[in-house]
Structure 1
Amino acid sequence: MVLPSLTTKYHHAPYPSIDPTRPELSASGKVVVVTGGGTGIGAATALAFVTAGARAVALLGRRPQPLQESKSQIQSAYACAEILAFPLDVTDEAAVGDCFASLAHRYRGIDVCVNAAAYLSDQGTVAAGPVSEFWKAFEVNVKGGFIVAQHFLRNRSRDGAVLIGINSLIAHLPASVVEQCPASYASSKIALAKLYEYVASENPGVRCYSLHPGVVETEMAAKSDAMAPPQKDNPFLPRDEASLPGQFCVWLSSKLGAVIPSGRFLWSNWDVDELAAMSTELKNDPVTLTMTLPGWPFPLPSPGNT
């Protein structure tokens, strides 16, 4: 399936412009927090920031074993890297608050936070699905996203702080064309995107973005695939490499990425050089790449019809 793209180039794998070893993308001195850091996109993002020279990277996640495995794999490649693992649930406000506060105390502030923690509910229609399973997606994706954002804002560094929420293209797609994603996931991701727009608006000293990571082979993607009707081909192929969103996050949080206005919804597949070339246009247009009604603002009603 060919997906619509803002840029003429559409990437499935990393490319030179987002290479974390580029001096222009250096994360030297930065303290980075990655939720969902034990597997998949979160683990790949942590590795990308370590490759870019981050001072310290904290991995947060529910399951201790994947966190330790991710930490060990990164340290096997970068023996001097400072990697910390915090087993916690992003919906646990006290645990998240203690974690962020301890990191801020230890390092004098957190520079970058990538919120990759997410939950995909079991398949079920609005009419038939259990309320508890539907609402769990909102607990993790929206409440968890709120808690992470709040404690990042309270413990961020004072200069150049960046918050990136891993989101999904599902937030854009009409429900009528989606057959392998429950309503709870799509609607919670829409809510998270709008929440992070407000983070950007309320905090001009922070850059905040939502990011579709691409279609990456993860545990969640496998669960989504299993929900597809058996007679249908998977529309979201070819898959994208997990390192693509990880390295995109390094670029976006760098000085080069700062040309993209805060509060926007981006795709990892889009070419960063083309995005940078659009930066002036984006700054002059507060609607593009935000969660709005397509076509709005519409023409004003004709006189006498109001």
Structure 2
Amino acid sequence: MSSKIDQERDGVTLGHQFTPTMHRQVYPAIKATNRNLSAAGKTVLITGATRGIGKAIAVAWAQAGASSIVITGRAENLLKEVSDELKKISPKTKILALKSEATSEEDAKKVWAKVQEVVGIIDVLICNAGIFSEGRNGLPVTGLIEPSLWWSDLETNVRGPYLQIYHFLQQKLVQNQKPKGTVIILSSAAASFTMPGMSSYALSKLAGARQAEFLHVEHEGVRAFSLHPGIVPTTISPELFQKQAVDPPEMAGGLSLYLATPKAEFLRGSYITVNWDVEEMERNAEEIKEKRLLKTAFLNGQLRPEGHHFEGKI
């Protein structure tokens, strides 16, 4: 482990650990200033980049020297603040800040039309914009949460990313070319467990992980990943996880840079979290690929022609 374990702080993360080493701070392999993570010559679009994780991802790409960074969000004043900060970090990077509502199809069209006009082709799409309505409302269980509020998480966290992914793919499809580039969808460890009061959020984040898998099999030129940013102290973190929320958003920024490099090829279509050690995963790349260790599974049972192998009697 990378540091002394504190069960009260690390319990949830430890229970979701894939590599022997658990990280809860930025480490050299995913540090934005690591020369191996250079974003020189790359263009990136990040949704929901006005604060927290989205902002940290944008800052990481500026630190890595991206040629162009497009950020979207709902608050114009915050977009300007982040835009100004990015320009100071990397004066040579072209910065485009666009107001956009995550679930608006019309806004998505306008964003990508402006991107085509000012930036051109986007190489990396990072779908970060998301909400956790149940967490802000005391984690009401099914039947106690209003249908419109329950649905809002799926609307934002599933439809929102798809609107961006659609236009990302259209960059090439309209030219009768095969889409290529990198798509990173922000997911959550919540997609992997069942806990009262998190049905809408967990379902929406599982959908994000599955979307990355579908992109992987549907478009051979698209490098798709779903990324759990850790338990980050943000405005949508429920009180239940406050003591666990110690992962800095910069970890997601650094990992997004890593996923955009050739080193991450073995992880295409996979679910990854910031707490796992990327170098330890690299050393086991073949097993991870062959056994589909980081892909979602429908059931724990073995579904095959001869049926599941039962240890008891049939």
Which of the five TM-score ranges fits, normalised by the shorter chain?
A: 0.7 to 0.9
Change beyond 3 A, Cα 1:236–1:142: farther
Match of 1:15 among 27, 41, 58: 27
Change beyond 3 A, Cα 1:77–1:142: same
> 1:24 touches 1:256 (CA, 8 Å); kept in 2?
no
Amino acid paired to 1:58:
V
Identity %: 28
Give the aligned partner of residue 36 of structure 1: 48
Provide the C-alpha distance between the structure 2 equivalents of 1:206 and 1:66, rounded to a whole number of angstroms.
31
Give the aligned partner of residue 6 of structure 1: 18
**Alignment partner of 1:112 is 2:128:** no
Give the aligned partner of residue 246 of structure 2: 239
Match of 2:182 among 132, 155, 162: 162
Q: 50-59 vs 1-10, which deviates more?
A: 1-10
Provide the C-alpha distance between the structure 2 equivalents of 1:6 and 1:129, rounded to a whole number of angstroms.
33
Match of 1:63 among 45, 50, 75: 75
Provide the C-alpha distance between the structure 1 equivalents of 2:141 and 2:18, rounded to a whole number of angstroms.
32
Provide the C-alpha distance between the structure 1 equivalents of 2:245 and 2:291, rounded to a whole number of angstroms.
32
Match of 2:261 among 251, 254, 263: 254
Q: 3-state SS of the aligned residue for 1:125? A: coil
Provide the C-alpha distance between the structure 2 equivalents of 1:238 and 1:135, rounded to a whole number of angstroms.
26
Which consecutive unaligned segments of at least 5 residues does structure 2 have? 1-10
Give the aligned partner of residue 231 of structure 1: none
Match of 1:84 among 86, 96, 118: 96
TM-score by length of 1: 0.87
Give the aligned partner of residue 212 of structure 1: 228
Q: Which digits, 9 at most, give the CA deviation of each residue in 1:67-92, with x for residues without a partner? A: 12211222233333322111101211
Which consecutive unaligned segments of at least 5 residues does structure 1 have? 229-233
Amino acid paired to 1:154:
Q
Q: 42-51 vs 99-108, which deviates more?
A: 99-108
Q: 3-state SS of the aligned residue for 1:89? A: coil
Match of 1:144 among 136, 160, 163: 160
CA RMSD of aligned residues (A): 2.4
Amino acid paired to 1:15:
Y
TM-score by length of 2: 0.85
Give the aligned partner of residue 48 of structure 1: 60
Q: 3-state SS of the aligned residue for 2:182? A: strand
In the TM superposition, residue 284 of structure 1 has moved relative to its aligned partner by: 1.4
Q: 3-state SS of the aligned residue for 1:219? A: coil
Match of 1:199 among 208, 215, 225: 215
Q: 3-state SS of the aligned residue for 1:256? A: helix
**Alignment partner of 1:297 is 2:302:** yes
> 1:100 touches 1:155 (CA, 8 Å); kept in 2?
no
In the TM superposition, residue 302 of structure 1 has moved relative to its aligned partner by: 8.3
Provide the C-alpha distance between the structure 1 equivalents of 2:46 and 2:308, rounded to a whole number of angstroms.
51
Provide the C-alpha distance between the structure 2 equivalents of 1:170 and 1:290, rounded to a whole number of angstroms.
15
Q: 3-state SS of the aligned residue for 2:262? A: coil
